[in-house]
Amino acid sequence: MRWLPDACGWSPAGWDRPLSFVVALVLGQALALLVTATGATSQSLTTFYGVSVPTTQSLLVYLLLISYAIPLARSGGLMPVLSSPKRLGGYLLVAIADVEANFLVVKAYNYTSLTSVMLLDCFTIPVVMALAAMFLGTRFGRLHVSGVAACLAGIVALVLADYSSKSAREADSAADMLYGDLLVLGGATLYAVSNVAQEFVVKSGDDARIEFLGMLGLLGAPVSGLQVALLESSELMRLEWRYEVVLLIGGFSMALFTFYSLAPVLVRATSATFLNLSLLTADVYGLVVAIFLFAFSPSVMFVFSFFAIIFGIVVYNYHPPKDALQLPSPVTPAATPAASPAASPRGSVVLSASLPV
């Protein structure tokens, strides 16, 4: 999908027209709504039906992602990756990080509160910034730090608002909450690794997004399948497959699959950090869902958090960070026999040196 960078006039130097930023902002909020859907379905499974099969939920997503590898396999585009142990190993590490990130964050809903997950998941942002600076050569200025600070201030306000509503999702014990918090911190760190790897890959060529998603599916599916067999087989055997449970698991899988499909478009046009800043508003949308599900009453803090997060996104992207890796000028498939990173000199560097973070 190339409509965002091409139709909006994207260039490596920054945003050419205000429209490009508006489209990126809208796409970011669409992705935030998808994240809200995954959180709502996961929490509903745990709260209303006592179902906890986080890896099974993710397995369906990776099976769907394999669909991106099919056209590459038919055209021979996967051979350069499969024949390179370093590139294949790099993708495997990213797939493992992604699978375990999904597992840890979804599992955390069993132990800690929704508000704690909201707050601690933001740990992805500083980790992404650190990894991008170290491995992508991205240079962040005071403006970018200020944007992140504004977003985090909005999240703190949101968490305070959520706690003031006396959510029924509070953990029963301090020990459970601490364990759940550690799960979220671990998941957020692994998400950051996956995000930065995705940014490096999708900015290296026009068809890099397809390769990244295809390989994530090909390698993430067996990793998830093995983990399901080891950790969740007994739970699946005891599970009562009511239609509500099936719909919730299916809804989670489709929402996350759509998120995976669209996120690289935004990352390619902006950065992994901008993606994560945009996703912070998912916390606001999550609170809106909680209002309808648990009769929460919105407060002044709620309104402040939303505008603080949007303000932070705008401030961060007012002057895009300077990347060492720049996206080459768009080319049509007819102009080159192979547009994927696997066929480019830069592509061999992407997964042999930089992904095994």
User: Could you report the per-residue pLDDT of 209-235, keeping only the tens digit for each?
Assistant: 888 899 999 999 999 999 999 999 999
Given the structure tokens 């890796």, which residue do they identify? 325
% of the chain beyond a pLDDT of 70: 73
Q: What is the pLDDT of residues 128-187, one digit of tens each?
A: 788 888 887 888 888 888 888 887 888 777 666 655 654 444 445 556 767 777 898 899
Q: Which helix (H) or strand (E) holds 14?
A: strand 14-15
CA-CA distance, 44 to 251, in Å (whole number)? Answer: 11
pTM: 0.73
Q: What is the pLDDT of residues 238-248, one digit of tens each?
A: 988 999 999 99
Alpha-helical segments (H) within 109-207: 114-120, 124-131, 142-164, 174-202
Closest CA to 87 of 353, 339, 344: 353
* DSSP conformation class of 321: P
Q: Which residues contact 150 (CB under 8 A, 6 or more apart)?
A: 308, 309, 311, 312, 315
Q: Is residue 5 part of a domain?
A: no
User: Which residue range is the domain that position 55 belongs to?
Assistant: 10-325+338-354
Q: Is residue 90 part of a domain?
A: yes
CA 126 vs CA 151, 254, 258, 319: distances in Å = 12, 28, 25, 18
Q: Is residue 242 part of a domain?
A: yes
Q: Is residue 193 part of a domain?
A: yes
Q: What is the pLDDT of residues 15-57, one digit of tens each?
A: 444 558 888 889 999 999 998 899 889 888 988 888 989 999 9
Q: How many domains does the chain have?
A: 1
Axis-axis angle for helices 54-65, 243-269 (nearest 10): 50
Compute how many other C-beta atoms are within 10 angstroms of the C-beta atom of residue 105. Answer: 26
Closest CA to 287 of 278, 279, 277, 296: 296
The angle at the Cα of 26, spanning 142 to 98, to the nearest 5 degrees, equals: 75
Q: Which helix (H) or strand (E) holds 209?
A: helix 208-227
Q: Is residue 2 part of a domain?
A: no
Length of the chain: 357
Q: Is residue 4 part of a domain?
A: no
Q: Is residue 98 part of a domain?
A: yes
Q: What is the pLDDT of residue 309?
A: 78
CA-CA distance, 93 to 75, in Å (whole number)? Answer: 25
Q: Is residue 3 part of a domain?
A: no
User: Can you say whether the dihedral through the CA atoms of 77, 83, 86, 90 is positive or negative?
Assistant: positive
